[in-house]
């Protein structure tokens, strides 16, 4: 439980009313800290509650282009191991994956279940998307059917196209504009753009893509985008999630910090 309100209210109380004011402020701040803790605790979903719908969706993504590849199966198996699933949850994950890969499987209800699990917690939405992106990109440039499911999930979780683009950039993929240079999400081919693996520099992916901003954004916009992203991806906010999810958040936070540092170095601001 954080005591930030307790400390701040006590500090202001000390300035205004010396010791009595500090005591009163600390009491008021503690009440706010306790309310915030209770709200966050109630808003944090049960960690195992997403296993079924998540692996069902991974199966559907894998099958959406017509076949389930060995790479996609390997990703699902590694995820089960990294999440340290119990024997019961692992069996549930395997069953769910097989359900999702059935022909003509409708992902609508599965995505709705993930949305209900995430609730209003955007910091829970990003780890879920990160896992699905890994399967979408398992074979390189993703098929249109896979991108369609990913975008449907992102929309349901209230994640914008620009934010999804930033997540893809962190995986080493970039947006390649199609005819006319129009930016946006497309699925390749002559009429549109697509995701292609860019030539990664030793410093990592395009820092502007990671922050989800244009290269001509001013310094203030850069700082604002960084603060927003790092607050949403900070692993300390994830609560009771599997260790793999926390590590993903830590990796994203490192990517965001590295991208911001590169931009600051290039532009010469602090």
Q: Which tens digit of pLDDT belongs to each residue from 196-229?
A: 444 445 556 778 877 777 888 888 888 888 887 7
Q: Quote the CA–CA distance of 154 and 152 in Å, as a whole number.
A: 6
Report the pLDDT value the prediction gives residue 252, as an integer from 0 to 100.
76
Burial of 79 (0-12, 13-18, 19+ CB in 10 A): buried
User: Does residue 243 register a pLDDT over 70?
Assistant: no
User: Does residue 55 register a pLDDT over 90?
Assistant: yes
Report the pLDDT value the prediction gives residue 172, as an integer from 0 to 100.
67
User: Which of 71, 72, 157, 70 is CA-nearest to residue 110?
Assistant: 157
- What does pTM read for this prediction? 0.61
Round the average pLDDT of the chain to a whole number and report it.
75
pLDDT band at 174 (very low <50, low <70, confident <90, very high): low
pLDDT tens for 221-231 read: 888 888 877 77
Torsion sign (Cα): 133, 256, 184, 238: positive
User: Does residue 110 register a pLDDT over 90?
Assistant: yes
User: Does residue 97 register a pLDDT over 90?
Assistant: yes
Report the pLDDT value the prediction gives residue 62, as an integer from 0 to 100.
94
Report the pLDDT value the prediction gives residue 130, as an integer from 0 to 100.
87
Report the pLDDT value the prediction gives residue 177, as an integer from 0 to 100.
38
């Amino acid at each position: 439980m954080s005591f930030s309100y307790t400390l701040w209210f006590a500090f202001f109380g000390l300035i205004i009313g010396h010791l009595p004011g500090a005591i009163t402020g600390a009491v008021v701040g503690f009440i706010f800290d306790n309310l915030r803790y209770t709200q966050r605790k109630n808003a944090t979903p049960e960690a195992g509650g997403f296993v079924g719908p998540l692996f069902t969706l991974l199966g559907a993504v894998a099958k959406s282009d017509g076949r389930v590849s060995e790479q996609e199966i390997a990703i699902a198996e590694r995820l089960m191991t990294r999440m340290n699933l119990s024997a019961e949850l692992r069996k549930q994950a395997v069953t769910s994956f097989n359900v999702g890969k059935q022909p003509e499987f409708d992902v609508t209800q599965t995505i709705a279940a993930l949305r209900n699990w995430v609730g209003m917690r955007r910091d829970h939405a990003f780890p879920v998307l990160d896992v699905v992106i890994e399967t979408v990109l398992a074979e390189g440039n993703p098929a249109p059917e896979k991108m369609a499911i990913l975008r449907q999930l992102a929309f349901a979780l209230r994640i914008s196209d620009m934010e999804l683009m930033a997540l893809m950039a962190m995986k080493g993929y970039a947006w390649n504009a199609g005819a006319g240079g129009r930016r946006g999400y497309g699925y390749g081919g002559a009429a549109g753009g697509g995701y292609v693996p860019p030539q990664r520099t030793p410093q990592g992916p395009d820092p502007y893509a990671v922050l989800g901003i244009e290269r001509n954004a001013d310094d203030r916009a850069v700082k604002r985008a960084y603060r927003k992203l790092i607050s949403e991806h900070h692993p300390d906010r994830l609560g009771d999630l599997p260790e793999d999810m926390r590590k993903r958040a830590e990796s994203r936070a490192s990517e965001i910090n590295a991208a911001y540092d590169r931009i600051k170095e290039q532009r010469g601001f602090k």
